[in-house]
Amino acid sequence: MEFFRFTHDIPFMRHALKFNIISLITFLLAIFFLWHKGLNLGVDFKGGTVMEIGYNSAANLERVRTAIDTLHLGEYTVQSFGTADTALIRLPLKEGVSSAQLSEQVMGVLKADNADVVQRRVEFVGPQVGKELYQSGALALLLVAIGVIIYLAARFEWRFAVSAITANLHDIVIILGFFAFFQWEFSLPVLAAVLAVLGYSVNESVVIADRIRENFRKMRKASVPHVIDSAITSTISRTVITHLSTQLMVLSMLIFGGEALHYFALALTIGILFGIYSSGLVMAPLVMWLGVSRENLVKPERKKEGLEAEKIMP
C-alpha cells in the first residue's frame, strides 16, 4: 500500500554533507548538555521512597502536591496511577530520615488535608539498588548495540553495520541530550523507551539497506549516489505510513496517558522523529562515504561453463 509515488528520485545524496553537519552539531550539543548538566535521574536510579495512596473519589493531584510542599522535601513527583482514585508519590532520599518516618510525615499532611486518604503501599529503593539499575541499563544498551552490529554485518556488509549503529547511537545520544537540557526525569520507563527506539531505528535502517542492495542488482549502470537516492525515495511512502501509525499511538499516550507515561511517550516521540531522519540522511551517506559498491553486496554471476571435454578412452 502506498499513499504516493514519486516519478523522479529525490537527490538526497547531493545534500548529504549538509545533513551530516547538522547531525554532528546536534550530536555535539547533546554531548555538551549531558556533560554540563547531566541526567536528572529519578528515584529508580538515585534511590528514595515510593508511596501509593488511594481516595474514595478521584484524587486531586494539585491538592496532594500543595500538602507535600509544606514538608520542604525537595524534588518529588506525584502522578495518577492506574485508576483515578489512586496516586503514586516518589520522594527523594532525606538524610537522617528513614523511609517509614518519611511516609508517616507525608501521610500526616495528606490526612490533614483529606481524611479519606489511605496508604496502600510503601517501597524503599536504596542508592545501591539504583546504582545497580543504572549499570544494568547501560550494559543492556551496550549489548543491544553489539547485537545490532553483528546482525547487520552478517545480513548486509560491515559498512552498513558501522553506518547503522552510528546513526542509531546518534538518535540515542540526542534523546539523552534533550532530557539533560530540559532536566526531564530519567527513569526506568524512559530507559525502556530508549532501548525501544534503538530497535525501532534499526528496523528503518534495515529497510533502506535492503532496498539499496536490491537497487544494486537492478540498476547496474547507475552511480552509487543515484542508487541510494532511489532507495530512499522508494521507501518514503512506506516510512510515512509506518511511522505515522506508530506516532499516533505514542501521541495518545503522551496526551492521555498521564504523568506515568508522559516521559516514556516523550522519549519515543523524539526517537521516532530522529530515527526517520538518521536512517535515510545519516546512515545512507555514511555507507556511501565508506565506499560501498555493487561488488560488496551482489555476488558476481558465475560464468557459464564451456563444452564438456571429450572423454578420454582408457
Judge residue 6's burial from the number of C-beta atoms within 10 Å of its C-beta, 0-12 exposed, 13-18 middle, 19 or more buried.
Answer: exposed
Spatial distance between the Cα atoms of 110 and 65, rounded to a whole number of angstroms: 9
pLDDT band at 2 (very low <50, low <70, confident <90, very high): low
Q: Note the pLDDT of residue 307.
A: 38
Give the mean model confidence (pLDDT) for residues 107-125.
Answer: 89
- Taking every pair of Cα atoms in the chain, the longest distance, rounded to a whole number of angstroms, is 111
Q: Tens digit of pLDDT for each residue in 7-16?
A: 788 999 999 9
Half-sphere exposure of 168 (CA within 13 A, CB side): 28
pLDDT above 70 covers a percentage of the chain that reads 92
48-54, strands of its sheet edge to edge: 77-81, 83-92, 48-54, 118-125
- The pTM assigned to this predicted structure is 0.80
Q: Are 159 and 270 in contact (CB under 8 A)?
A: no
- List of residues 6+ apart from 298 with CB closer than 8 A: 213, 216, 217
pLDDT at 255 > cutoff 50? yes
Q: Which residues of 135-162 are buried (b: 16+ CB within 10 A; e: fewer)?
A: eebeeebeebbeebbeebbeebbebbbb
Q: If you search the block for the grid coordinates 546518534, which residue do you land on?
A: 170
Spatial distance between the Cα atoms of 51 and 72, rounded to a whole number of angstroms: 17
pLDDT at 239 > cutoff 70? yes
pLDDT band at 123 (very low <50, low <70, confident <90, very high): confident
pLDDT at 293 > cutoff 90? no
- List of residues 6+ apart from 167 with CB closer than 8 A: 201, 205, 278, 279, 282, 283, 286
Spatial distance between the Cα atoms of 230 and 7, rounded to a whole number of angstroms: 11
pLDDT band at 205 (very low <50, low <70, confident <90, very high): confident
Spell out the domains of the chain, with CATH numbers in brackets.
12-41+129-312 (1.20.1640.10), 48-125 (3.30.70.3400)
Which range has highest mean pLDDT (99-108, 134-143, 257-266, 292-301)?
99-108
Q: Tens digit of pLDDT for each residue in 26-57?
A: 999 999 999 999 988 887 777 788 899 999 98
Q: Are 56 and 85 in contact (CB under 8 A)?
A: yes
